Chains A and B, each alone.
Chain A
Amino acid sequence: MIFKPEEQLSQLFGSYKAEWLKGKLYEFFTEPSYFPELKTSRPCMLIGGRGTGKTTALRCLSYEGQFALSQFKKEEIPNWNYYGLYYRVNTNRVTAFKGPELEDKRWKNLFAHYFNLLICDLLLKFLAWYKKHVPYSEQLDENACNKIGKSLNLQDVKTTRDLVNSVDNLRIEFEAFINNVATQPFPLLSAQGAPIDTLIESITQLQQFQDKTFFFLLDEYENFEDYQQQVVNTLIKHSGQHYSFKIGVRELGLRCRNTLNENEQLIHPADYVRINIAEKLAGSIFNDFALQVCNTRISKLRKIDESIIDDVSKALPALSENEEALKLGISDLIKDMRDILRVVNGSIELSPLELYFIKIWAEGKNLDKKDVLKEYMDKYSDWTERFSNYKHALLYSLRKGKVGIRKYYAGWDTFIKLSATNIRYLLELVDQTLLLHLKKGRSLSEPVSFETQTLAAQNSGKKNLSELEGLSIHGAKLTKLLLGLGRIFQVMAVDVSSHAPEVNQFYIDDNLDSTQERLELEDLLTAAVMHLALIRFSGNKPVDEADTKDYDYMIHPIYSPFFIFSYRKKRKMKMSGTQLLGLISNPRDTIREVLEQNNRDYEEELPDQLRLFEEFYFGHSG
């Protein structure tokens, strides 16, 4: 068989979604640092954006996952401390439980019954699986089956098989009822959580499950309707000694914290452990985790070709700021400064970037370059700090208005920052980079050029921007928001002279009068955070998680190579609620307003890759 590295790469790095990986998900599993917390018996909320690894983690807690991770050793199954049952909340199911045909209270009762059936079905499937792999284990007796049956209003349930068939029939009858809900009389419904408690109680009395815990792994909790979250929250709040819930949810996806008892809320840390993936993987933890994830995949490639670089971080070399400045053509921009330097004849050797900094500082403040240069040398330690604040920011201005690469995005550390603890984005960056490298006729045994890394990072930003439209029903708004904010930060980055460097975040000054506009802004920001168009930070002050105004926001760094601004978390500026909404309803005028407010030129030429959106920005093409 011929080794085609492109195909192998796509299989190893290209299947970014846990859902597409099938069995490989377990083979490639790298335990994240928060995983031990998930394994405790306490309910957990695993919070993270799309692609942060929630599904992978939850699936690895499932009994199928545990089995695969244990190399399919049947004899180990009885020794496990917990058994996880995975379920992804299916929008096409849960949206069936709403409509004007019934009042809310009735829908709650119906949904609670559906949820009972769902969980019982998961447990019964698990029992069948367990019996298949551990054949001589104790089974539910007639008394237990009868009791469970009664909790579901079923008669004559004597064996597990009866129970499985009856639950299945009950589900079919219930399905027919829901299809006919406007006029058909209500069927007998089970009480909220009762069959789950009864079934779990019976199961944990079996010898093999004594002292074991069952985890219900509910993924994509945000897909539930608000009232449905309320129903399940009640079960989480009161989950028993033998079972617990592990919830996978996007940031801001837990929209309802109430339980069915109006005065009761689901509270962290009393009722559940809150695991925010971005917080847990902050700093070097994500770096180590990501390195392991990528290198595990690379090791598979190396089994076929040993010459392939064994460490992804070595395959993606970085540029220092000074090296990058030279590549971006700084020498041509500082010829005048070199002449002045010769005249001044100072004792300190200055780098090209320092000379450029002195030049734009002097130009920005309308000072004499020679004077500034002298002062720089005389008060070197004072100026060094100022220079270090601007050093990175200066790189964005070197190729202002020029075609081709205007800023390099290269190096493993840069890619780590671009992905902002999102493992799917990181895998995608690596995949796109290595593929482009191969397309250019290079081999995986040699490092990737800075140009290729940059182009791949730009493509990745563009791809994710185009995908945003289809991620949710509000995708178009998010795309417009990003195009607007991206352009603002791009223009601000290119024009650094006399301005604060690396402004790439914003906070909201709410100037909205109408409740409707406030809700609109709230919805927009929630969707933007949920779908990772924006990331948000609380800084050091304690904030209400649901209050969007308390946070600072930043475009997800994965988009920064496409728009060309800094991916580093740096300085922030103020934006009003009207401006944020205006970026969607009236982008041209709003972008102009924000740029003028920040003393930047609205007419600044678009970088090559943004020309695609010329119509959006300027309302005309060509």
Chain B
Amino acid sequence: MAIRDNPLFTDTYSDLSDFAPEEGSTYIFGASAEERSSHYKDWESKVTNIKFVNIIEQQPTFFIAEENGIATTTVFLRANDQIKSFLESIQSKVLYLDITGLSHHIWAPLLKMALKIGCQEVLGLYVEPEQYRFHQAPKEGEIFDLSEKITGIAPIPGFIRLGEPSDEEKVCFVPLLGFEGTRLAYLIEMVQPPGGKIMPIIGVPGFRAEYPFYTYHGNQQPLLRTQAWRNVQYAVANCPFSAFYSLEKIASKNAGNLLKIAPIGTKPHALGGVLYAIINQNFTELVYDHPIRKPKRTAGKSRLLVYHISAFTNQVS
């Protein structure tokens, strides 16, 4: 089935003021220095009876949350009972998880637990940036300093896998590509996937029309060196479900393979990758290099996207 024939579970708002969280809902978010993560401020004054849960500190092994500006809770990420209690304590009929200002290692275990404990309705939220301040892929001759950009490969809490595939040839490496080819090169070096089994996913259409070209340009060297350009798949850049379907397609073409998914591209794609890993736990591994985000790396706010995650997982699982 072509991706366009699959149901999509996304509401798109061109103007942020057209959207406000439902009354009686819980809205989890992380405020960062980026302009696009400040949209919640408008809603705080506009809507009532909403639990605004601000993750005010995002550490590698725990986070600290603040509810409606008052109570603080520390939650360890490798502690299911703490994540569960935290979610239960703030639960309401609708749970919004705004991934815009949250790191993958924070929102992914929260999402996993929210789906596991059966939160009634889980929605993901994402605000596209107007532009990336450093969006151009590094030029030839420019030196890309990974040590300033990533902390290195380590599992995302809640997604640690210890089992090895029965046959090491039965591994597909699926990087969800961003602009920074050095990150892809580093991951390939660390993962060492079998030859011919790198299946990159590129966001097409991109947030902006020119972004797919930046992606190709930035990743040109590792794509050429490994000939992975031959296996490129496309998925709508701001659509997690489109990424999910692409992963399904790769999995069905490589039955019995372990999919090593590297969510180094757009956040919606990462959401698609994480959802895929939650639903297909036995055949999936997330490989992530934990970037160090620069403050104000993006400018402006573009579209707001609301993803009906639980409706989607109910349908596919």
Contacts and interface: CB of A to CB of B under 8 A. Distances in A.
Contacts of A183: 76, 79-82
Nearest to A23: B169
A613 to B, nearest CB: 5
Main secondary structure of the interface of B (DSSP, over half): loop
Given A19-B192, A179-B157, A476 B145 contact: yes
Interface stretch (A31-39, A90-98, A364-372): A90-98
A92 B152 CA distance: 10
Contact of A101 (B61, B183, B196, B221): B61
Given A172-B163, A175-B163, A179-B157, A467 B78 contact: no
A250 to B, nearest CB: 12
Contacts of A121: 164
A92 B285 contact: yes
Interface string A104-146: 0000000000100110010001000000000000000000000
A473 interface: yes
Nearest to B76: A182
A63 to B, nearest CB: 14
A172 to B, nearest CB: 7
Given A471-B189, A473-B186, A474-B147, A175 B161 contact: yes
A100 B61 contact: yes
Nearest to B159: A179
A473 B225 CA distance: 20
A95 B153 contact: yes
A91 B76 contact: no
A180 B143 contact: no
Nearest to A615: B141
B33 interface: no
A95 B155 contact: yes
Contacts of A467: 185, 221, 225
B195 A21 contact: yes
A92 B154 contact: yes
Interface in B200-250: 221-222, 225-226
A469 B195 contact: no
Interface in A167-190: 168, 171-172, 174-175, 178-184
A471 to B, nearest CB: 6
B32 to A, nearest CB: 23
A184 B78 CA distance: 9
A346 interface: no
B5 interface: no
Nearest to A87: B164
A96 B154 contact: yes
A237 interface: no
B279 interface: no
B141 A613 contact: yes
B194 A182 contact: no
Contact of A96 (B143, B160, B185, B190): B160
A171 B81 CA distance: 21
A472 B160 CA distance: 22
A293 B194 CA distance: 22
Contacts of B148: 476
B140 interface: yes
A437 to B, nearest CB: 20
Given A22-B195, A99-B61, A92 B155 contact: yes
A121 B165 CA distance: 11
Given A21-B195, A22-B194, A22-B195, A469 B162 contact: no
B61 A114 contact: no
A612 B285 contact: no
Given A178-B160, A470-B182, A20 B194 contact: yes
Interface in B130-161: 140-148, 150-155, 157-161
A7 B152 CA distance: 35
B161 A19 contact: no
A90 B140 CA distance: 31
B125 interface: no
Nearest to B196: A20
Contacts of A450: none
B186 A472 contact: yes
Given A171-B162, A612-B140, A471 B186 contact: yes
A449 interface: no
B76 A616 contact: no
Contacts of B190: 91-92
Contacts of A195: none
Contacts of B184: 470
B31 interface: no
B194 A466 contact: no
A125 B191 CA distance: 22
B287 interface: yes
Given A178-B160, A183-B79, A88 B153 contact: no
A480 B78 contact: no
Contacts of B157: 179
Nearest to B287: A92
Given A114-B162, A171-B162, A480-B143, A473 B150 contact: yes
A316 to B, nearest CB: 23
Most chain B CB inside 10 Å of its own CB: which residue of A91, A93, A183, A470:
A470
A121 B82 CA distance: 32
A180 B162 contact: no
Contacts of B78: 99, 101, 178-182
B195 A15 contact: yes
A92 B221 contact: no
Nearest to A614: B141
A179 B61 contact: no
A172 B140 CA distance: 45
Nearest to A219: B192
A616 B150 contact: no
A486 interface: no
A118 B159 CA distance: 19
A147 interface: no
A171 B193 CA distance: 23
A88 B161 contact: no
B274 to A, nearest CB: 14
Contacts of A88: 192
A391 interface: no
B79 A473 contact: no
Interface in A582-622: 612-616
B144 A469 contact: yes
Interface string B24-37: 00000000000000
A61 to B, nearest CB: 16
B79 A182 contact: yes
A88 B81 CA distance: 34
A479 interface: yes
A20 B195 contact: yes
A326 B275 CA distance: 66
A21 B196 CA distance: 10
Interface in B267-292: 285, 287
B294 to A, nearest CB: 15
B281 to A, nearest CB: 10
Contacts of A466: 140, 221
Contacts of B151: 473
12 contacts: A17-B192, A100-B61, A175-B160, A178-B162, A179-B158, A182-B61, A184-B79, A470-B189, A475-B146, A476-B145, A480-B143, A616-B141
Given A175-B160, A470-B183, 5 more contacts: A101-B78, A182-B61, A469-B144, A470-B222, A474-B146
Interface of B: 60-61, 76-82, 140-148, 150-155, 157-164, 166, 169, 181-186, 188-196, 221-222, 225-226, 285, 287
